[in-house]
Amino acid sequence: MAEEGGYLGAMTYQCLFKGAIERVMQSHKADEVAYHALNRLSANLQQADVVSPSFLFDFMKILLDRSKLNINLQEAFLRMQAKAPTDDLELPPGLGPEFQELSARAIALRRVLSRVPEEMSDRRTFLETIKEIASSIKRLLDATNALMRVVPVPAQSCKFFFFLFNVKRISLILYNVSVSANQLIFQTTLIIKTIREKLAKVSMKNCITFKQKKKMCTTYDKVYCDINLNF
- What pLDDT is stored for residue 168 in this prediction? 52
- What pLDDT is stored for residue 180 in this prediction? 85
Q: Look at residue 129 and tell me if it is in a domain.
A: yes
- What pLDDT is stored for residue 187 in this prediction? 86
- What pLDDT is stored for residue 230 in this prediction? 43
- What pLDDT is stored for residue 161 in this prediction? 53
* Residue 93 backbone phi and psi in degrees, to 5: -70, 160
Whether 37 and 124 share a structural domain = no
**Does position 226 have pLDDT exceeding 50, yes or no?**
no
- What pLDDT is stored for residue 57 in this prediction? 92
Whether 32 and 108 share a structural domain = no
Whether 231 and 118 share a structural domain = yes
- What pLDDT is stored for residue 225 in this prediction? 40
User: What are 128-142's pLDDT values in tens digits?
Assistant: 988 898 899 889 988
Q: Look at residue 77 and tell me if it is in a domain.
A: no
Whether 55 and 92 share a structural domain = no
Whether 155 and 90 share a structural domain = yes
Whether 51 and 156 share a structural domain = no
Instruction: Determine the average pLDDT of the residues in 28-50.
Output: 91
Q: Look at residue 81 and tell me if it is in a domain.
A: no
Whether 120 and 64 share a structural domain = no
Q: Is the CB of residue 114 less than 8 Å from the CB of residue 76?
A: no
Task: Provide DSSP, the chain.
Answer: --HHHHHTGGGHIIIIIIHHHHHHHHHTTT-HHHHHHHHHHHHHHHHHHHHSTTHHHHHHHHHHHHHT----HHHHHHHHHTTS--GGG---TTS-HHHHHHHHHHHHHHHHHTTHHHHTTSHHHHHHHHHHHHHHHHHHHHHHHHHHHHS--GGGHHHHHHHHHHHHHHHT-GGGHHHHHHHHHHHHHHHHHHHHHHHHHHHHHHHHHHHHHHHHHHHHHHHHHHHHHH-
Report the range of poorest mean pLDDT among 73-82, 143-152, 161-170.
Answer: 161-170
User: What are 183-193's pLDDT values in tens digits?
Assistant: 889 988 988 88
Whether 160 and 53 share a structural domain = no
Q: Look at residue 173 and tell me if it is in a domain.
A: yes
Q: Look at residue 79 and tell me if it is in a domain.
A: no
Alpha-carbon distance 49 to 60, whole Å?
A: 12
Q: Look at residue 9 and tell me if it is in a domain.
A: yes
Whether 105 and 152 share a structural domain = yes
Instruction: Determine the average pLDDT of the residues in 136-159.
Output: 75
Ramachandran bin of 96, using left for φ above 0, alpha for ψ from -120 to 50, beta for the remaining angles = left
More confident position, 187 or 155: 187
Whether 90 and 67 share a structural domain = no
The one-letter code for the residue type at 149 is: R
Q: Is the CB of residue 133 less than 8 Å from the CB of residue 109?
A: yes
Model confidence at 33, in pLDDT bands (50, 70, 90)? very high
Domain count of the chain?
2
Whether 15 and 100 share a structural domain = no
More confident position, 163 or 88: 88
Whether 137 and 192 share a structural domain = yes
**Domain coverage including residue 219:** 86-231
Ramachandran bin of 94, using left for φ above 0, alpha for ψ from -120 to 50, beta for the remaining angles = left
Report the range of poorest mean pLDDT among 92-101, 103-112, 156-165.
Answer: 156-165
Instruction: Determine the average pLDDT of the residues in 143-158.
Output: 70
**Does position 122 have pLDDT exceeding 80, yes or no?**
yes
Q: What is the mean pLDDT of the chain?
A: 80
